[in-house]
Amino acid sequence: MSYDPDNIFAKILRGDLPCHKIYEDDNTLAFLDIMPRAKGHTLVIPKSPAQNMLDVRLEDFTTLMATVHKLTPMIQQALDADGILLQQLNGDAAGQLVYHIHFHIVPRFEGVPLKHHGNQFQQEDILKKNAQILTDYIARQS
């Protein structure tokens, strides 16, 4: 299977689909998962095409990880999370749903169970509010 330029995240990158963006630079984009496993569940993607870890170029992976490294502590602080789960799935057997490589940054809160993966849409107004909290915090740190 080769990279599908019409996958959902490619459409978001082209501006053909909306997203709740929280961060963008020359190489990467970060936005909220619309079926979050927890409050503030963020996806970080490279702007270059790759399906997953099995075909991503090292330089694209490196810039992707730089953004994950930058955003993870900011998301933790902005939401006062007790922990952060990083998740990255490769292939159908691993549960990968969207074939444009991405990292999940999932804030964890003591006593709050993790929701199922890609299972339940979050209300638009809640996503909007959480994106604003994160965007404001990131802007203050920059």
At residue 66, what are phi and psi to the nearest 5 degrees? -60, -40
Q: Which is nearer to ligand AMP, 53 or 138 (CB)?
A: 53
Asked if 102 is an active-site residue, the reply is: yes
Write out 27-89 in H/E/C secondary structure. CEEEEECCCCCCCCCEEEEECCCCCCCCCCCHHHHHHHHHHHHHHHHHHHHHHCCCEEEEECC
Q: Which is nearer to ligand AMP, 5 or 95 (CB)?
A: 95
Binding mask 98-117 for ligand AMP (x = CB under 6 A): x------------------x
Q: Which residues contact 123 (CB under 8 A, 6 or more apart)?
A: none
Query: Considering the rule CB under 6 A, would residue 23 count as an interface residue with ligand AMP?
Result: no
* Residues in 42-101 at the binding interface with ligand AMP, rule: CB under 6 A: 43, 89, 95-98
What minimum distance in Å lies between the beta carbon of 7 and ligand AMP? 9
Residues forming the active site = 102
